[in-house]
Every structure is written in C-alpha cells, then in structure tokens.
Amino acid sequence: MDPNFWHQRWQEGRIGFHQERITPLLERHWDAVSAAPGSRVFVPLAGKSLDMAWLAARGHRVLGVELSRLAIEQFFDEHALAPEIRETRYGTHYSAGDIELICGDAFDLDAAALADCRAVFDRAALIALPPELRTPYLRELYARLPPGCRGLLVTLEYPQHQKQGPPFSVDEADVRAGLAAAWTVEVLERRDILDREPGFAAEGITALSTVAYALQRRDLAAA
C-alpha cells in the first residue's frame, strides 16, 4: 500500500484505527505469550498505540516501527516523554525510557535490527495490509525475528466483499499459510464483536469477529 495513504490519514486526523484504550485481547492473553520481564517486544505499524505504554509498564522494552513521524511525535507528546533522536539505516529512532520507535518502513528492518526481540505484538499491522503484501509480510518480516520468539497476533474476520479495507479481513487459513512453515500457531480466542463496532455495522457488515493467536517461532536449524 502506498505510504502516502497512511501519511495523509495521520495528517487529516482520520485515524479510526487508533484505539483510545488498551487492546482487550492484549490484556486478556499476553500472559499466554510467556514473554520474560525485560524482554524486547516488537510492535510493527505501531502508530501511537497505547498498547506500547502498557507493555512497557509490564516491564518490557518496546521496539515499534511506524511510517508516520506525526504518529510517533504524538505518542511521545501524549505520554509526556522527551525522546532522544538518532538516525540509522533503518530510519529515525525516537527513544525514551523503555520505548523506542523507528520512523521508517517495517519491510526495511533486517534480522540484525530485530535480533533481540523475544516477542512480537501485532494488532494493527497484518490487518492493515492488502493481500498482495500480506504474504511477504508474514514470510519475510516475521522470518527476521529470532528463533524462540513468541507473539500475540490479533486479527479481524468479516465478509471481505462487504467492505474495502483497511482494515482487511484475515482468516485463520491466511494466518497459517503465512506462518506455518516457521511458527507454531494456536487460536486463543475468537469473539463476535459486531455489536460493539457500529461503524462496521453501518457499512453493511453482517458478521465481525476478532481472533487472538499465540505464536512461537521454531528453531529450524535445530529441527
């Protein structure tokens, strides 16, 4: 998807995808990830998600990546943090406390950038990508996370023909097809949320579920 699409959404304040609360499935299922205190958690397409502050408050170090500089600046401003700023080949890094956000393209991150990420939390990234980018995202970017990495993935499922994404519908078959070669995938919860999403109902969506998956990357060399 054209990065300008996301830049324009942030500039115009059309950020309905941003939640003004912690993701309920994160609060409910993060313990199932078994990420050790102090471990680094990768948050792709991070926006200014409150989930990052929640993870940091749980004792994790957070590494987020986000295209929009405006989103990153708003995150630190809204949390009264003054980040240090530096440049690398991955983009512009903003760091304060246990949170580091890279203003750049997630697809530009290599294994070296993600080497110490022991966990991943993906709520807004996979469902933001159209089908043609979804498979490269799962098979290439997720492959750069280290063996043993654990994760919590949150998706949406709805009749795709009833709505033009983003967010896109990503069903269990898509998740398994993209990850099964290198990751174990376990469904933790599938919940009907249509009655809590009036915007989707107003667009004519007839069914809407959110799904939480526990992930663990296998050590393929050992296998």
pLDDT tens by residue, 79-101 = 999 999 999 999 999 999 999 99
Residue 198's identity, in one-letter code, is P
Instruction: Kindly list the distances between the CA atom of residue 133 and the CA atoms of 61, 123, 137, 168, 222, in Å, as whole numbers in the listed order.
Output: 28, 16, 6, 12, 29
Q: Residue 20's pLDDT band (boundaries 50, 70, 90)? A: confident
Q: Is residue 53 part of a domain?
A: yes
Q: Is residue 21 part of a domain?
A: no
- How many whole angstroms separate alpha carbon 65 and alpha carbon 94? 10
Q: Residue 12's pLDDT band (boundaries 50, 70, 90)? A: low
Angle made by CA atoms 76, 52, 38, in degrees to the nearest 5: 115
Q: Is residue 1 part of a domain?
A: no
What domain range includes position 113? 30-217
Residue percentage of the chain with pLDDT more than 70: 91
Which helix (H) or strand (E) segment holds residue 73: the answer is helix 69-78
Residue 223 has pLDDT above 60, yes or no: no
Question: 């980040």: which residue's tokens?
Answer: 83
Q: What is the mean pLDDT of residues 107-125?
A: 96
Q: Is residue 81 part of a domain?
A: yes
Q: Is residue 164 part of a domain?
A: yes
Residue 36 has pLDDT above 70, yes or no: yes
CATH number at residue 53: 3.40.50.150
Instruction: Kindly list the distances between the CA atom of residue 59 and the CA atoms of 53, 153, 181, in Å, as whole numbers in the listed order.
Output: 10, 20, 31
- How many whole angstroms separate alpha carbon 33 and alpha carbon 26? 10
Q: Is residue 4 part of a domain?
A: no
pLDDT tens by residue, 168-213 = 999 999 999 999 999 999 999 999 999 999 989 899 999 999 999 9
More confident residue, 144 or 10: 144
Q: Is residue 24 part of a domain?
A: no
Residue 1 has pLDDT above 60, yes or no: no
pTM value is 0.93
What's the pLDDT at 40? Answer: 98
Number of structural domains found in the chain? 1
Q: What is the mean pLDDT of residues 26-53?
A: 95
Residue 196 annotated as binding site: no
Residue 66 annotated as binding site: yes
Q: Which of 1-5, 14-18, 31-35, 153-157 shows the lowest mean pLDDT across its residues? A: 14-18
Mean pLDDT, the chain, integer: 91
More confident residue, 42 or 136: 42
Contact between 130 and 165 under an 8 Å Cβ cutoff? The reply is yes
Contact between 188 and 32 under an 8 Å Cβ cutoff? The reply is yes
Q: Is residue 183 part of a domain?
A: yes
Instruction: Kindly list the distances between the CA atom of residue 62 and the CA atoms of 14, 42, 137, 211, 219, in Å, as whole numbers in the listed order.
Output: 25, 6, 20, 23, 23
Q: Which of 1-15, 55-69, 123-137, 158-172 shows the lowest mean pLDDT across its residues? A: 1-15
Residue 6 annotated as binding site: no
What's the pLDDT at 6? Answer: 64
Secondary structure (DSSP) of 81-145:
---EEEEETTEEEEEETTEEEEES-GGG--TTTTTTEEEEEESSSGGGS-HHHHHHIIIIIGGGS
Contact between 223 and 182 under an 8 Å Cβ cutoff? The reply is no
Q: Residue 222's pLDDT band (boundaries 50, 70, 90)? A: very low
